[in-house]
Amino acid sequence: MSSAATKPQVISAPRIPNSGFIYDLPLTITQQLCQHLDSLGIWVQVAQRMRFSEEDIQSINRRIKATGESPINELLNIWGGKYNHKILELYMVLQKLKAYQGMRILKDYVPREYHILIPESGPALSQILPSERTDRPPRNNIGGLTPAASVTSESRSTIVSSDNNTSSNNNSWRSRSHLQPNNGYQAKPQTPRVEKEINRHHEAGLPEIDYHELTVGTNNWDERYRLGKGGFGIVYKGVWKLTDVAIKLMTYKDSDGQEQAKIQLQQSRNELNCLYRYRHDNILPIYGYCITGEKPCLVYQLMKGGALYDRLNSNKRPPLTMQQRIDISAGTARGILFLHTLLPNISLIHCDIKPGNILLDQCLQPKIGDFGLAREGPQDNSYIEVAHVYGTRGYLPPEFADLRRLSKHVDTYSFGVVLLEMFTGLPSVVDNKNFLRDYIKVLLQSKTIEDLIDKRIKLKPEERSLCKMGIELGLECIRDDPLKRPNMEDLVKIFNRYATVD
C-alpha cells in the first residue's frame, strides 16, 4: 500500500474515545455490512474516504475482478485488518458518505454519543451514489460480488509487488512448458491473503479460553514446562480440561519497529484462521485461543512425538524405521494435498513446509503446523508475484526465492527437500553453505542414488527399494521447472500404496 494510504486520516470528530478495532466486529455484522455497502456499489467512494491512493484502488479493482470477492470486505481486510483502524473510524467514514443504514449496522459497536449522527430517516440513494453507476458490481450467487468498478489509472499495484503480469513476454516457464494458455504456468492477479481476525472465531464456535486456566495448567508458566521458543513466542506444555495441550504464548517484539510487531500479530491471526478452517487428520488441531491475559495465546493438541526435525537430528531416540518414514511421508503429502484442493479454484499454500513444522503424535502420525506464512493462491498451474520472499532457507525453490513467484508448486518443492532429508539423512543446508539440492547434484556425478541412502536406517532387504524410491521422488519434487514437479495427488497415491493401513 502506498505511503498515502498507510495511515489515512479520515476522522474529523472533535473527540474519538477508545473503541473496538474493525477486526473485533462479529463475523455476522461484517457480512451484513459488506452485503449492504456492496449492494450500493460505493466501494470506490469508501476507499477514497479511507484515503486509499488511486494506485491502490486500481490494484484492489483488478484483484476483486479476478477473484469475485466482496470489494468492501477487501477494504476492511486491508484498512481494518492490516492497519488496525477502529470501528468508530469506519462509522465516521460512512457518515461522510451519508450511508446511514451502514451506520445503523455498526451503531451498537460505537459510543452512544455518536448515535445522534444517524438521522431518523436515510437519504435518497441519489444522494449517496454517483451520477453514473459505472462502479456498481453485480452480485454473484454466493453472497459475494463480481466487481466492475470504473477507475481511471492503470498503474501497477502498490499493495503487492505485481498483480498485472499476464502480459509479460519473458515468462520462461510458460515458453518452456509448451502448454496451452489455460494450462501453462502463467501469472495471475493476486488472490486475497488469508486475513481473518482472532475475535471473529468466537462467533464461529472456536472457544476463547480463560487465561487463568492456562496459567494454572502451566504451573504459572513454569520454565520446566517450556517446549521451545521461536520468533513469535514461547511454547509450553500444559493441561486444559484435563487434556494435555501445547500453548503458544505470543510475544510481539518491536525491536525492529512497530511495523514488525504488526506483522507478527497478523501472522498469528493468519495461523489461527488456517488451523480453524482447514480440519484434517494431518493438520495440527487447534483447541482455542486466549486474548484476555497478559499476552495472547493459541492452544493446540499436544504432539507427543515431537517435531520431525528432532526425530531426524537427535541421538536421544532410535532412528525412525523405514516404515515410519513412509507413513510420515504419506501423511504429510495428504495434508498438503488437502490444503491445495479444499476450496474451489484456490489453493492454500503453506509456504514453510519443513521438518520443524511437521509434528508427530504419539503414534508418529504427522500433523502440519505453523501456518503463519500461509496464503491463498491459484489452484491451477499459474502463479502470483509477491512483494516479499518468506520461508526458510534451503526449502525455497528458485522461482520463489529469486523471482518471487508463488504457486502451489512451492510446497511441492519444500516437500521434496523434506523427503531427501528423511531418506538420505542429510540436512537441508550442508556445511552451513550448500543447499541440499545442489549438494546432491554434485554427489550424483560420482555416486548412485542407492549410495545416498541414510546409513543409520536399519533396512530389511526389501526396504532398500522403498528408500531409493523416496530419494527419487524427492529429486522429482525439486526440479527447477515447477511444471515438471509431480502433482501432490500422484505423490499421495504412490506413498499410500506402501503406507501402514489404519
288 or 120, greater pLDDT = 288
pLDDT class of 50 with cuts at 50, 70, 90: very high
In 356-463, which residue ranges form alpha helices assigned H by DSSP?
398-401, 409-424, 436-443
pLDDT at 294: 79
Is the Cα dihedral 230, 236, 241, 244 positive or negative? positive
Tell me the pLDDT of the chain averaged across its residues. Answer: 78
247 or 431, greater pLDDT = 247
pLDDT at 458: 86
Report residue 111: phi and psi, to 5°.
Answer: -60, 150
pLDDT at 187: 54
Task: Give the Cα separation of 167 and 388 in Å (integer).
Answer: 21
Place of cell 537430528: 313
Question: Which range (135-139, 328-332, 382-386, 462-466) has the least confidence?
Answer: 135-139
pLDDT at 113: 83
Per-residue pLDDT at 163 exceeds 80: no
Nearest 10 degrees: Cα torsion 61, 66, 67, 70: 30
Mean pLDDT of 226-255: 83
Q: C-alpha 357: how far from its chain's center? A: 14
Mean pLDDT of 327-356: 94
pLDDT at 1: 46
Helix (H, G, I), strand (E, B) or coil at 159: coil
Type of residue found at 49: R
Whether the CB-CB separation of 201 and 30 falls below 8 Å is answered with no
pTM, two decimal places:
0.62
pLDDT class of 196 with cuts at 50, 70, 90: very low
In our burial notation (b when 16+ CB lie closer than 10 A, e otherwise), range 105-130 reads bbeebbeeebeeebeeebeeeeebbe
Per-residue pLDDT at 475 exceeds 60: yes
- Identify any residues that bridge with 286 across adjacent strands, giving them in sequence order: 300
With 0-12 / 13-18 / 19 or more C-beta atoms within 10 angstroms meaning exposed / middle / buried, residue 242 is exposed
Per-residue pLDDT at 123 exceeds 50: no
pLDDT at 186: 54
Of the candidates 163, 352, 361, 370, the residue annotated as catalytic is 352
Is 254 labeled as catalytic in the residue annotation?
no
Q: Percentage of the chain with pLDDT > 90?
A: 42
Type of residue found at 308: L
How many Cα atoms occupy the beta-carbon half-sphere of 214 within 13 Å?
A: 26
Task: Give the Cα separation of 248 and 293 in Å (integer).
Answer: 13
CB atoms within 10 A of CB 257: 9
Place of cell 488437502: 338
Give the list of residues 6+ apart from residue 449 with CB closer than 8 angstroms, or none. Answer: 468, 471, 472, 475
Residue numbers belonging to the annotated binding site for ATP: 248
Q: Where are the beta strands (DSSP E) in 242-316?
A: 243-250, 286-290, 297-301, 306-307
Mean pLDDT of 237-250: 94
Question: Which range (216-225, 309-318, 329-338) has the least confidence?
Answer: 309-318
Per-residue pLDDT at 437 exceeds 70: yes
Question: Which range (69-73, 130-134, 149-153, 423-427) has the least confidence?
Answer: 149-153
182 or 117, greater pLDDT = 117
pLDDT class of 170 with cuts at 50, 70, 90: very low
Summarize pLDDT for 258-286 with one digit per residue, the tens.
555 556 666 677 777 777 778 899 999 99
pLDDT at 205: 63
Per-residue pLDDT at 253 exceeds 50: yes
Terminal alpha carbon distance of the chain: 49
Residue numbers belonging to the annotated binding site: 248
154 or 413, greater pLDDT = 413
Per-residue pLDDT at 460 exceeds 90: no
Sketch out the chain's domains with CATH numbers.
Answer: 22-115 (1.10.533.10), 200-301 (3.30.200.20), 306-497 (1.10.510.10)
pLDDT class of 115 with cuts at 50, 70, 90: confident
Whether the CB-CB separation of 248 and 235 falls below 8 Å is answered with yes
Helix (H, G, I), strand (E, B) or coil at 492: helix
Q: Percentage of the chain with pLDDT > 70?
A: 75
Tell me how far CA of residue 94 lies from CA of 45, 91, 107, in angstroms.
10, 5, 11
pLDDT at 375: 87
